[in-house]
Structure formats: structure tokens, C-alpha cells
Amino acid sequence: MRNETLKKMSILLLTFLIYAVGCAQHTNYIYIKDIPAVADYTADFEKVSNTVNEKYTHLKAKNLDGASLREKYRAFVKNAKTNLAYGDMLLRYFAELKNSHSNAIFKKYYKNCTASLIEGRIFLSYVGDSLFIKRGIKEKDEILKINDIPVLTYIQNQEKYTSASTDLHRRYLTVSGLFSSYFEEDRTYTFNTSSGEKDITIHFDDKPIKEISKSAQPPLKVEQKILNDSVAYIAISSMTGNVVEEFVNAFDTLSKKQFLIIDLRRNQGGNSGYSEKIAEYLITKGQKACVSNRWLTPRGNYYKGKLFVLTSPYTVSASESFALDLLESGSATIVGMPTAGDTGNQPQFYNSKLGYSYWFPSRSKAQISPKGFPMEGVSIQPHYTVLKTITDFLANKDAVLDYVLNMISKK
């Protein structure tokens, strides 16, 4: 149960998981409130915006006028009298760069819940917060309002703080952040429950979430299942840590199955070096990797059956480049929803004298895959698009997985 809670919490940590992985240099990770209360915000922003305008890979490709953007936010900086106002401005500035790997890196406050966007409505997909549980809030309850604002309007307002490379990814990231905040604040949620509407106000602060005992094992990054005599399933939740070893252990027991399903729908990336090692078990002939450009060679025991890959708007960074490598191998059938639209382009980290860090891609030229696919700002489109329905969600049905199994049964 504890591991399941950690798994649910990892979904909330979205962008920071990517921040922390593969960072070769020291980065500062603080709350916005820890920026010096009396600081030269103007000088800091000049440094930040100059660095962005000089080095940001996608400035021209995204039709951004760096000088105009700097002037726009200079006006906000002049009016920023507190660290909270300045931090708020930084988040909005980086969100306007329209890139998932560009942001000011600050800690957030979390509640142990997650939300899902389904057919234009927002439902609780996990409830772990004690206050909600005491008040009878359950999974599958619908969120109607936040702070007395219709929830979809609230999400739209919050998107100005969300760094993303595509509108689809921005919307889903904002939904995933409904139970997190960069600021200490009260937030009132209106739920539609089985016993009627309920308003619950919670406070976001830096009180630590109850820690898992040191003896508890960390959650696995690879989940494996045998679905039937001919179908195996492997879900990879991130490209971090010992994911390669976990994958190999799972693959060794499942590789003889006629059909293999790789689930990347909750994989928000990590280290593309790991994803490339895993890809060598799933490709059938040599090819160049889209990120490192190194030559990928099939392993001696590479998979020889029919491969399906499940994707979603949360499939980003190293998991998206992994999906792209498999797509360009010609071996994979992609099923689900479009990906986030950003493989990374090797972002670089910078440190501010005010104690926080920020990052953005600083390559001289944006990456293009070996077969010409733009690796920024364009989602990988599935061969078969399958959208989650409210009916399936309420019935605990996995529509994407069921779709693949139905395809296989017809074969």
C-alpha cells in the first residue's frame, strides 16, 4: 500500500522528476518563499532574460521575439516588491518559452491526490489526503470548482504557469498540478460526491508528507504481467535509476510471447541513455538513436514478436525519444494518445545568485530524428488513437489496453 502511495505521488512530481535526472551540475532547489525578500529582482531578470535570448534553442522556431518578451516582463519586475511576486513572474516568463524543458526550478507543496481529465471533465483518480478521506471524498468523485471557479476555467487560468511544448501537454500537466502549489495558500475544492456537493478547503505548506520507513523497498519502475498465453505486458514508469536492470529481468521472462505491450503512458522521462539500452532489446535491426545519434544494435535475444507501445500526453522527454526510436525501427505499433511533443534537446541548467536554478535547451540547433521527425513541438501521433471515456473510467476499464487486446484477438 505504501509503495502504491509513492507511485501515485510520483505522478504529481511531473516536471521535477525530469529536472533531477541527468543533471551533471549542481542545481539549487528551493521554495519561491526562500528567494531573498529584499533583492535586486531587476538585475536578476536581466541576467536570466539575456541568457535565454542568447542561448535558447527554440526562440526563432517558436516565433518568439526575445526582446519583446523581455520588455513585457521588465514591467512586471518593476512592480515585484516581494519574492512571491517575483517568483510568480518567473514562472509565467518561462511558460511563454513554450517548452517542457524550460522553467525556473522551484519546490512545490503537494497533497496526496491526483486528478484525471476525461471527456472534458475532471475526476479524482487517487485520494490519499487524510482530510479528504475524513470528509468522505473518494476516487472517481468529480471536481466541479476550485476557489468557486468552474474547474475548466480554473485550469485555463493556471496554464500561464505551465511550461510545455504543446497545448495538449500543457493542459494535461496543469490538470496533474491541481493538488500542488508553488505558494503557501488555501484552496477550496467543490466535489460532486455520491451524497451531493461538498466544499473542502485545504492549506498548502511545507509540512513534510509522512515518510516511508527506511526498510520499505522503493517502488519498481517496471511492472510486468502475462495477460494470456500469447500476450505479455510491461509498464515502464520512468527512465531513471535501475530501470534497465528491471526491464531486462522482466523481458527475460516474457520475451517468448507472441505479442508484447510496452506501456509508456505514465513515463515522464529521465535518462535517454537508459531508454536506448532498453530499445536494443526491442528493435530488429541496427539504427541510429534519435537523441545520442549512436548506433543501436539489437541484442542477441531481441524481441521477435509483434510489439505495441502505449502512449499519452504524459509521455515526454526520454520516454518520448524511446517511443520515437521504436517507431522509427518499424517494429512498433503506437496506440493511445499523442505524446507530449518534447524529447528534451539536452537542456542546460543555470544558477541564479538569488539561490534558485533554471533550465532550457541551449543547443545551437534543434534535434531532428534520423528519419526527419522534429523532436520538439510536435507530438508523436499514434497509429491508433484511443481516448479514455467516462464510462470506462467509472468501470475501471483500460480502454487503450482493451483496444490492443481486441486487435490481437482479431489476428
Q: Are residues 297 and 393 in the same domain?
A: yes
Q: Are residues 294 and 379 in the same domain?
A: yes
Tens-digit pLDDT profile for residues 172-206: 999 999 999 999 999 999 999 999 999 999 999 98
Res 11: pLDDT: 42
Distance CA 96, CA 69 (A): 8
Residue range(s) defining the domain that contains residue 373: 222-343+368-410
Terminal-to-terminal C-alpha distance of the chain = 38
CA atoms within a 13 Å half-sphere pointing along the CA-CB vector of 149: 11
Res 208: pLDDT: 67
Tens-digit pLDDT profile for residues 354-370: 999 999 999 999 999 99
Percent of the chain at pLDDT > 70 equals 91
- Residue 332 belongs to a domain with what CATH number? 3.90.226.10
- Residue ending a domain, among 85, 105, 125, is 105
Q: Are residues 39 and 127 in the same domain?
A: no
Tens-digit pLDDT profile for residues 265-298: 999 999 999 999 999 999 999 999 999 999 999 9
Inside any domain, residue 354 = no
Tens-digit pLDDT profile for residues 292-317: 999 999 999 999 999 999 999 999 99
Q: Are residues 134 and 85 in the same domain?
A: no
Residue pair 388/367 in contact (Cβ under 8 Å)? The answer is no
- Residue 26 belongs to a domain with what CATH number? 3.30.750.44
Confidence of residue 401 (pLDDT cuts 50, 70, 90): very high
Inside any domain, residue 264 = yes
Q: Are residues 100 and 141 in the same domain?
A: no
Inside any domain, residue 358 = no
Inside any domain, residue 26 = yes
State pTM to two decimals: 0.92
Q: Are residues 255 and 377 in the same domain?
A: yes
Confidence of residue 125 (pLDDT cuts 50, 70, 90): very high
Distance CA 411, CA 406 (A): 9
Inside any domain, residue 270 = yes
Residue 20 has pLDDT above 80, yes or no: no
Res 206: pLDDT: 85
Q: Are residues 257 and 311 in the same domain?
A: yes
Least confident range of 3-12, 199-208, 306-315, 378-387:
3-12
Residue pair 244/272 in contact (Cβ under 8 Å)? The answer is no
Confidence of residue 2 (pLDDT cuts 50, 70, 90): very low
Residue 17 has pLDDT above 50, yes or no: no
Res 141: pLDDT: 98
Question: What total of structural domains would you count in the chain?
Answer: 3
Distance CA 211, CA 6 (A): 10
Q: Are residues 101 and 113 in the same domain?
A: no
- Residue 154 belongs to a domain with what CATH number? 2.30.42.10
Inside any domain, residue 213 = no
The per-residue pLDDT of the chain, averaged, comes to 92
Inside any domain, residue 362 = no
- Residue ending a domain, among 105, 132, 149, is 105
Q: Are strands 287-288 and 295-296 parallel, antiparallel or unpaired?
A: antiparallel
Q: Are residues 310 and 385 in the same domain?
A: yes
Q: Are residues 258 and 286 in the same domain?
A: yes
- Residue ending a domain, among 60, 88, 105, is 105
Residue 118 has pLDDT above 80, yes or no: yes
Q: Are residues 117 and 194 in the same domain?
A: yes
Q: Are residues 249 and 194 in the same domain?
A: no
Inside any domain, residue 355 = no
